[in-house]
Amino acid sequence: MSIIKEINAHEIRDSRGKPTVEVEIVTGNGSFIASCPSGASTGKNEALELRDADGIGVLTAIKNVNEIIAPKLKGKNPENQKELDELMIALDGTPNKSKLGANAILPISMAICRAGAASKKIPLYQHISEIGNWKLVIGNFKMPLPGFNFLEGGRHAEGRNKLEMQEFMVIPQKKSFRENLILGSQIFEKFKENIIKNYGADVPMSDEGAFAPQTSKVEPILFMLKSAIGPSEAGIALDCAASEFYNNGKYVLEGKEFSRQELLEFYKDLIDRFPIISIEDPFSEDDWTGFEELKKALPGTIIIGDDLTTTNIAKIKEAESKKACNGIIIKLNQIGTVSETIEAVKLAQSYGWKIMVSHRSGETMDNFIADLAVGVGADFIKSGAYTKDERKVKYDRLLEIENELSKNK
């Protein structure tokens, strides 16, 4: 057994250049580090990211780690993930972690998880699986299908284009993660040729390493994606982030106002003409009826909740009771601890939903979500384009895991 000797937090910068919190935990097995990402397009029910009075800094969150949380965790066994997460939740005492900040609590929770795995002398993904009681042995772990971000609009491409829809992803569907990474790269190069042909060679890149050309139209992008994919074993995934273009009961898309029914017909038309596997947040997070009607209308498409569900047990239960979706985005910082994230996954899986583990637009070099995706048996993972280091480290870690699993079969 190992015990926590030291916990120290400090400031680092995320991929958008904003301050965020990194935590180091020291045990007899060494030093374990984790950092907190930050979202741009966020659901109103997400756990609170605590910022200083200037709205930018994280010194208050860092102080909360070093002065409030750390003294309570020293001497504890990092193998007891749920117990330590619950201790931090109790210390905070609010429904959305607004006292101490999810950005203070989460990196501690992640670092504890790493320390716990080291204490048990097992890989992080296996430790995560054991925390959730999935009872997976090495030979039974599966690799998630990657959702590579090819083009972005919305909050992820602010000032670069006027496209309302947020993410246009390609999901290769070959047998191994390595094959999917290779195929994704090949399709990306073909798509890049189409981008240069249509928009020139100096197209800006988005927050997540995707193209952000000057466009406001969805259909031409989908045609370019369809052309780049060709006969390959791959499909398209959309993140609409519709809460961002919803206003006073109407959806404003491509300069036109859409009612709920009109937007539903718009999506149905796209599904008919393009190889779209999944649609994420197709309606506003308050438009439960829109989700329910689209799920009925498109039984062969994965309807994914993100802002709708926010990795939150209560929201997931509500979504299931209303038959609003059959897939979910899982983001650690939406809820704020590893244990609660695992509980959210298990509940969604009990409903038969598809699981997509996700990064955030403001990322760090932390690759925790790669192990999380394997440990919980996720169907998909999205971590942006394979163009930026903070995105690539997640995919590269998945390659390492696949190699490790193949050696132990």
Residue 379, marked binder: no
- HSE (side-chain half, CA atoms, 13 Å) at 393: 11
Residue 178, marked binder: no
Q: What is the radius of gyration, based on Cα positions, of the chain?
A: 21
Residue 166, marked binder: yes
Residue 360, marked binder: yes
Of 208, 320, 363, 390, the catalytic one is 208
Residue 250, marked binder: no
184 closest CA partner among 354, 7, 386: 386
Residue 359, marked binder: yes
Contacts of 215 (CB under 8 A, 6+ apart): 153, 161, 162, 163, 199, 221
- Map residue 4 onto helix, strand or coil: strand
Contacts of 280 (CB under 8 A, 6+ apart): 167, 237, 238, 239, 240, 241, 304, 305, 306, 327, 329, 356
Residue 186, marked binder: no
Under 8 Å between Cβ of 357 and 125: no
Distance set, CA 10 to CA 20, 62, 182 (Å): 8, 6, 37
331 catalytically annotated: yes
Residue 389, marked binder: no
Residue 281, marked binder: no
Q: Name the one residue in this structure whose structure tokens are 């030291």.
A: 6
Under 8 Å between Cβ of 358 and 176: no
Under 8 Å between Cβ of 105 and 336: yes
Residue 331, marked binder: yes
152 catalytically annotated: no
Of 295, 315, 331, 392, the catalytic one is 331
- HSE (side-chain half, CA atoms, 13 Å) at 271: 19
Residue 239, marked binder: yes
Distance set, CA 148 to CA 15, 90, 151, 196, 325 (Å): 17, 38, 9, 19, 22
Residue 366, marked binder: no
Under 8 Å between Cβ of 308 and 42: no
**Token pair of 271 as six digits:** 């599904």
Residue 197, marked binder: no
- Residue 172 carries which side chain, given as an amino acid letter? P
Q: Name the one residue in this structure whose structure tokens are 């937090």.
A: 9
Binding residues for Mg(2+): 239, 269, 280, 306
Residues that constitute the known binding site for (2R)-2-phosphoglycerate: 166, 331, 360-361, 382
Binding residues: 156, 166-167, 239, 269, 280, 306, 331, 358-361, 382
- As annotated, the binding site for substrate includes 156, 167, 280, 306, 358-361, 382
| Catalytic annotation, residues | 208, 331
